[in-house]
Amino acid sequence: MIAIPSLDTLQVFVKVAELSSFTQAALSLGVPKASVSTAVQRLEAALGARLFHRTTRRVQLTQDGQACLERCLDLLADLNDMQTMFQPAASGLRGRLRVDIPLRLARDLVTPALPAFFEAHPGLELELSSTDRRVDVVREGFDCVLRVGPLNDSSLVARPLGGLDMVNLASVAYLEAHGEPTSLDDLARHQLIHYTPLLGQRSSGFEWQDNDGAQHFVPMAGALTVNNSEAYMGACLAGLGIVQVPRRGNDGEVRSGRLRELLPHHRAAPMPVHLLYPHRRQLPRRVQVFMQWLADLMAPRLIPLSSGASAVVR
């Protein structure tokens, strides 16, 4: 029978992982270094796995150690939730949050608002992943993710927030060099900056939605394919072609005159925005509060979409 590690043992392991040092962990916890080494050895024996690579210069998590760390952090956070779930809201939230938000939204919208969030909730810690790739919510230990775009069937809960209204943009320099398209037929003489999450794939071309809601695609040439929003907009500003992006968040470049909207009657369908989170019997209060804060922060950028309640998605 496998011995169940004690809470103290898990806390020692987490501290060693955070500080990458048995000595520093011992100093931080106020215990002898031998006690720290013994606790980690006891945990490794109980799990039957080596958790650290140890050298005279450094201590580094093994792959098994990284997986163990994620579970320990979640377990300790859940224990904190259990200890505080019956306390009044005024007592404050504590614990760790791990979230993933698309790159540009994290940079332009969420990060500037975080000082006020931390001022309201000083007991919370946030691990913010900012990437355009689709993270594995369960395997990578995320409490919630903000996802823009269509969803695939899976075992996650989706909370629909609304949609991002789309526009077609190009730089003034590009239009001066290639002329401005005034119809879909004109696109044959233009360049599209292709966007795809996975390099090696190709986008379907210029997307537009008709009055009945049907989506259409116009194949277009394009010398450049990118896989993140920063490169996408950087390429547009550099005059490399046409992009299709959310209106809010890029309207400042239009007002400044650097970018110009094209074909306003042939826009892509609004991009749906969802908050995704794993199925849990009871969402920790800290996660509920953060998701509501994020939903309120996003609300001014979104338009209503006809969608159902929470769905099962990837």
pLDDT digits (tens, 9 = 90+) for 233-266: 999 999 999 999 999 888 888 999 999 999 999 9
Contact 270, 164 (CB under 8 A): yes
List average pLDDT for each run of 10 residues in the chain, which is 314 residues long.
76 88 86 92 90 84 89 78 59 83 93 96 92 80 89 80 96 96 96 88 90 93 92 95 93 91 96 87 82 96 70 42
- Domains in the chain (CATH in brackets) are 7-82 (1.10.10.10), 85-164+271-313 (3.40.190.10), 166-262 (3.40.190.10)
Q: What is the DSSP letter of 131?
A: -
In sign, the C-alpha dihedral spanning 249, 251, 252, 253 is positive
**Which is nearest to 148 in space by CA: 197, 88, 194?**
197
**Contact call for residues 143 and 288 (beta carbons, < 8 A):** no
Cα torsion angle, 167, 253, 299, 150, sign: positive
Q: Which residue has the tokens 């966007």?
A: 195
Question: DSSP class of residue 109?
Answer: I
Please name which of 186, 314, 213 lies closest in space to residue 269, comparing C-alpha atoms: 213
**Residues 6+ positions from 206 with CB-CB distance below 8 Å:** 168, 184, 187, 192, 217, 218, 219, 220, 242, 244
pLDDT tens digit string along 147-196?
Answer: 998 887 567 889 999 999 999 999 999 999 999 999 999 999 999 999 98
Compute, in degrees rounded to 10, the torsion defined by CA atoms 125, 286, 301, 259.
20
Q: What local confidence, expressed as pLDDT, does residue 284 receive? A: 82
112: phi then psi, degrees, rounded to nearest 5: -60, -25
